[in-house]
Amino acid sequence: MDNPFDLSGKVALVTGANTGIGQAIAVALAAAGADVACAGRTPAADTAAQIAALGRSSALIAADLSSIEPVDRVVQETHDKLGGLDILVNNAGIIRRADSVDFTEADWDAVVDTNLKSVFFLCQAAGRHMIAQGAGKIINIASMLTFQGGIRVPSYTASKSGIGGLTKLLANEWSAKGVNVNAIAPGYIATNNTAALQADESRNRQIMERIPAGRWGKPSDLGGAAVFLASGASDYVDGHIMAVDGGWLAR
């Protein structure tokens, strides 16, 4: 029986793959057999080394996704360097924190442009290619704040709520064309983006008390979900937002 999770012969593009969640997903896809292009502002040399150790190929693509300027180039470079594009993981993102009464337009635009605008146009560029070949997998990285409001992160909450809606819209348009569009909503994962929360003794305690699993998540906890959504095992999964949260939303 064929392994439905096997990604041999597939090419994945992962944004923000230099560390944290993006790195863990890139390595998990490589472990399942995919070659991986890593795109972002910071070179993902360590990720590339881990991919090579798994016997897979990688490509490092320099791209500042705070604007849509590099989007078409990123997709084309992936195709040119690795021979195709079958899987897109939109992981790159930023966060800015301040009380809503003090939140600046600059912080709003920076987050929404990176977390939502660039994601849509990367989906568009990859989607054109995938629709033409009749198959593809797109995985957007959502958040607990796709479902909840959060505090002091208005542009982040807006962007991740937008990711949920965008994922469903694209699934509605592209599922019949062979392109599955889904999202992963990480719970509280120990990364650079959550360093401020981990360092805040009171907030960290409140978070831990709410997680049924009793711990912060690790980036590697997201690897299995990513492989599932990138593989043939999820061919009839469309427009779904998969929470990988240690039970946070069940509480």
Catalytic residues: 156
Q: d(Cα 201, Cα 99) in Å, to the nearest integer?
A: 19
Which residues lie below 8 Å from residue 251, measured CB to CB, with a gap of 6+?
210, 211, 212
Q: d(Cα 13, Cα 117) in Å, to the nearest integer?
A: 18
167: phi then psi, degrees, rounded to nearest 5: -60, -45
Residue 209, Cβ neighbours under 10 Å: how many? 9
Residue type, 8: S
Q: What is the dihedral of CA 6, 11, 14, 15, to 10 degrees?
A: -170
Q: d(Cα 74, Cα 63) in Å, to the nearest integer?
A: 7
